[in-house]
Every structure is written in C-alpha cells, then in structure tokens.
Amino acid sequence: MRQTQLEQCNATADGHATRSNISGTAMSRRGFLAAATATTATVLASTVAARPAIARNFGPQAEPIRYPDPDIVVLDKRFKYKLGNAAIMRLHTGMQWAEGPAWNAVGRYLIWSDIPNNEQLRWSEEDGHVGRGFRSPSGNSNGNTFDFQGRQVACEHGERRVVRYEHNGQVTVLADSFDNKGLNAPNDIVVHPNDGSIWFTDPGYGALMEYEGHRHPSSADSVSPIQKEAIYRIDAQTGAITKVADQPFKPNGLCFSPDYRKLYVADTGNSHYPSEKNQIWVFDIDGAKLTNPRTFATMEFEGKSGSADGIRCDEDGNIWASAGWGGEGYDGVHIFAPDGVRIGQIRLPEICSNLCFGGAKRNRLFMTASQSLYAVYVETRGAHIT
C-alpha cells in the first residue's frame, strides 16, 4: 500500500463498501482498522433496526465474508469490541444439542457437551481437530468448567449430580442431593477463586425430558420434579451444600462479575412458567450468601422474546449472553453493558445455548449453538479463566 494514497473502506447501511482515496496521508494498518471499525460502529448503530440478517453459509466450505462481519452488530457506541477484520467461524457441526463450553488454557483445548448423545467433545487449538468421545458416556453432562487446580467440574443431567474429574482419573461426586432429597438436574457451574467454593444452578431440565437425561416420574405432575429450582453453593473445605437463592423460576447459566462481588444468573423460567419473563438476574455476594436480588436485563428485543441460557462476563464488566428461541435476527449472542443496556449482538443461524471466552489471549468467544460450535475474535477478554 502506498503511503501517498490510501483507500479507506466506508461501510454503508447495507453492509457493502465504497472506496474513497485519501492523498498525502500516511496511516498505519492498526489505525486503518481502528478507523474502519469506528466508522462501521457508527453506521451500524443507526441502521441495525432496518437491516435484516443476511443469508449466509458458515464453515470451511463457505464463501468468504466481506469485512467487517455484518452479523456482529453494534447497538450502542459502548460496544467497542467488534474487530473490523474478524469473522464468525463455524468450527464443527453434527451435534444434537451442544452445551457447556469450557476452555482449558494449559491444554489449549475447548471441551463441550452434546447432551442427547451423552458425550463430551474436545476442539484442539493446535490444529482444529475435534475429538468425539472425550468423555463417553458423560452422564448427559450439561455445564462444564475448570477449577483453579485445573480439574474439570461438570453438571450431569442423567445422574442428577455435580462431579469433579480428578487428575488421577477418578470421579468425585460433589453434590447429588439437598435437604435429604435428590437434585432436579444440575445445569451450569462456576468456581470462586477466593475460597474455592462451587456455585451451580438446578433448573431440572434433565429430569423433565428423556432426551437430555432421565425423565423423573413426578415430572408429569410438576415442572420442578424433585424440589424447588434453586442456586446452590458447595463449600470447598467441608463439602457442605447450601441453597443460596431460589427467586429465579428456572436458574440456568451463571457467572461472576470481574471482582467476584456479584453473581449473574440467567432465568429461562418462561419455558415452563408461561407468565414469567425471560431475564437475567444479578445478586450481591456477601461471603457465602447472595443478597439484593434484582433484574439486570430482560431478553425482549425489537418485538421478539427469547431467552438467555449461558452467560459470561468480560474484563470490562459486560455480560455476554447466549440468545435463543427468538427466531432469525434474534438468536446468537446479546451483549449487555454493566448497567443492563443491550449494546451489541452476534447473529447466528442457530439457537445459541452457551458460550465462553478462550484462546491464548482469552479474547476468542466460543459459542455452542444447537448442532454447531462457532467462534469469533473480539476486542476484549473474558473476566475469568473459563
């Protein structure tokens, strides 16, 4: 590129590009990309409502997408995380219902669950290889994470329990009951670094359908098969299990704020409680307790209503929420600023179930979406290790 004459791409409302010459000005590649991204953000923020999702193929055999990716949508100028030269990629497909992505930084791989197929899969950053049967059977596992000793922790729908895979290959059952009754079907899980405590949700989907676990006999009479849906905490020292909240109707994905002083919880209660709204809750953390429950954000968007399933927080305190069941133009990922305002969107052709940050710099967003695994680089990092 000649320094005396640069071509700057200016995005138009329909996502195509026009070119204008800039004479006598030298611009670095970094500056060029920053300017292109900023221009795109301004245009998209003012035109997104009028522009539908584009017809598009994904995967290694797909036609190239013209940068900037039109399915990464800026809704608010605070969404400064779209890269002008990064595209959404489909890394793998063929699952029945993909869930629970978790990044292993030491091994440089991503694991996730295919709940109906009763297995966990692994994607290798080294060569993009996907290995099936990483754990098979997996107990119809859903949510996964790694603790601060590098051990995998998983929520099993089929066995209705939380387990930890030890370094020697043994399996430790961390929770399978509360108050002398079994759990419904643990769903998602996070680990607190200060005390090693494990926090998990128990909405019970695995006990409500044979497809994702084992339908409990009482599911014919109750949408909470064994006990009230709730959020639990496992003490790392004693193993004691305490119920910390039960306000959400179907507590699903959960994550901590960057400073670990708040807990965010996705509520998919509308799936079985029709009068309830799909929303994300936020709680204050007071030691081993949750206080001050309140609505952080709702999943209503442009006249459509879907739900958030998995959620993760970035280093700036934004919440990245998987979004599904709202239809084309809605499903994918919705990004909320710390004040609960929706500032960005990643549109996918499938219902997005869960997500996590990973990669060498923790700046790659991995998204499990129905039958596929997607990824995109963003200009931020995940707040936590997985």
Pick out the residues of the known binding site: 99, 187, 252, 309
Structure tokens at 337: 């600023």
Neighbours of 167 (CB within 10 A): 8
Q: Scan for tokens 């204008």, then name that residue.
A: 20
Compute the distance between CA of residue 16 and CA of residue 9 in angstroms, rounded to an integer: 9
- The burial of 260, by beta-carbon neighbours within 10 Å (0-12 exposed, 13-18 middle, 19 or more buried), is given as middle
Which residues are part of a known binding site for a divalent metal cation? 99, 252, 309
Does residue 286 carry a catalytic annotation?
Answer: no
Residue 261 to residues 3, 54, 199, 289, 352: CA-CA distances in angstroms?
A: 49, 40, 14, 11, 27
Compute the distance between CA of residue 87 and CA of residue 108 in angstroms, rounded to an integer: 21
Which residues are part of a known binding site for substrate? 187
Query: Which residues, listed in sequence order, are joined to residue 298 by a DSSP beta bridge?
Result: 279
Contact of 152 with 164, CB cutoff 8 Å: yes
Give the DSSP H/E element, type plus range, for residue 46: helix 29-47
Residue 183 to residues 45, 201, 313: CA-CA distances in angstroms?
A: 44, 10, 27
Give the DSSP H/E element, type plus range, for residue 344: strand 342-347
Structure tokens at 178: 């509360």
Closest CA to 142 of 117, 167, 125: 117
Compute the distance between CA of residue 131 and CA of residue 310 in angstroms, rounded to an integer: 23
The catalytic position among 309, 314, 316, 339 is 309
Q: Which are the catalytic amino acids? A: 309
